[in-house]
Amino acid sequence: MQVVIIYESLTGTTETAARLIANQFYVRHVGSKIYPVGGFDPDAIAEADVVIAGSWTDGLFFVGQKPAKRKKFSKLPEMDGKKCVVFCTYAIDPGKTLDKFTKVLEERGADVLGGLAIKRTNLADGAVDFVDRVMAVAPV
């Protein structure tokens, strides 16, 4: 299985989560490539078995939460039927961030299999949990 991870990060938390997720794939003998959303490789996405998209929660903390830089993710290539899984990092309450993120990717044609909100103080455990879930829904 080849995994591509695409992330958006303002202060580094989501990038750290993305790298911890890549490491969890590595220890399970699954290769991954990782890109900031502004610098993705369309060929890598086309070749990937699973695309993972991660962003941070942007909102008013208790209302209006959404994935940061949704517009950048809406510029991903068409991913007709491509298996995708989303994650977000958050401080207090992610609200409906994952649902909104799922919609953005579905609009690109992706088949979004699930998602996980990872608290910014619990990135390492979140990465393990996330990769466990990906392996369950998209087995090698």
Ligand X SMILES: Cc1cc2nc3c(=O)[nH]c(=O)nc-3n(C[C@H](O)[C@H](O)[C@H](O)COP(=O)(O)O)c2cc1C
Q: Which residues would be at the binding site for ligand X (CB under 6 A)?
A: 9-15, 56-61, 65, 89-94, 120
Contact 44, 60 (CB under 8 A): no
Residue with smaller CB distance to ligand X, 30 or 116 = 116
- Cβ 33 to ligand X, closest distance in Å? 19
Residue with smaller CB distance to ligand X, 11 or 74 = 11
- Cβ 127 to ligand X, closest distance in Å? 13
- Cβ 121 to ligand X, closest distance in Å? 9
Half-sphere exposure in the Cβ direction for 36 (13 Å, CA): 12
Residue with smaller CB distance to ligand X, 40 or 82 = 40
DSSP, collapsed to helix, strand or coil, labels residue 48 as coil
- C-alpha to C-alpha distances, 124 to 6, 19, 77, 86, 131, nearest whole angstrom: 18, 10, 30, 17, 11
Residue with smaller CB distance to ligand X, 9 or 102 = 9
Burial class (CB in 10 A: 0-12, 13-18, 19+), 123: buried
- Cβ 29 to ligand X, closest distance in Å? 27
